Amino acid sequence: MENVILTIHLILALLLIGVVLLQRSEGGGLGMGGGGGGAMSGRSAATALAKLTWVFAAMFIATSITLTILAAQSAGTSSVIDQIGATAPASDEPAAPAGADLLPPAASDAPLAPPKAEN
């Protein structure tokens, strides 16, 4: 079920991108495109592409909300931290500091010198 909705969601995203790119520019961002019926004039008649954009956008939002609800239901009540804590091995020894292996040995850790042989 979730895979079907996800597939529909991805198809809607591609269709929405395509329909938006096919529309005529109404802004004057770079002084190009546009024409009569811009944002500053009276309300222009909605074209078929504009209506299709609204339909695809509404369906995209609906599938987004549906996927969110399905993900929340399958997540359950456990936390990710709880899952990590459950799989960690229990040990009695305290964990070593992060850089413990990179430190030089202390004087007390030095090996004992071999005894001198008497001749």
Q: Is 38 helix (H, G, I), strand (E, B) or coil?
A: coil
Q: How sure is the predictor about 3, in pLDDT bands with cuts at 50, 70 and 90?
A: very high
Query: Does residue 43 carry a pLDDT above 80?
Result: no
Phi, psi of 55 (to 5 degrees): -65, -50
Q: How sure is the predictor about 21, in pLDDT bands with cuts at 50, 70 and 90?
A: very high
Q: Residue 29 gets which letter from DSSP?
A: T
Q: What angle do CA 52, 54, 59 make, to 5 degrees?
A: 95
Query: Span 34-39, mean pLDDT?
Result: 52
Cα distance between the two ends of the chain: 89
Cα–Cα distance measured from residue 77 to residue 80, given in angstroms and rounded to the nearest whole number? 10
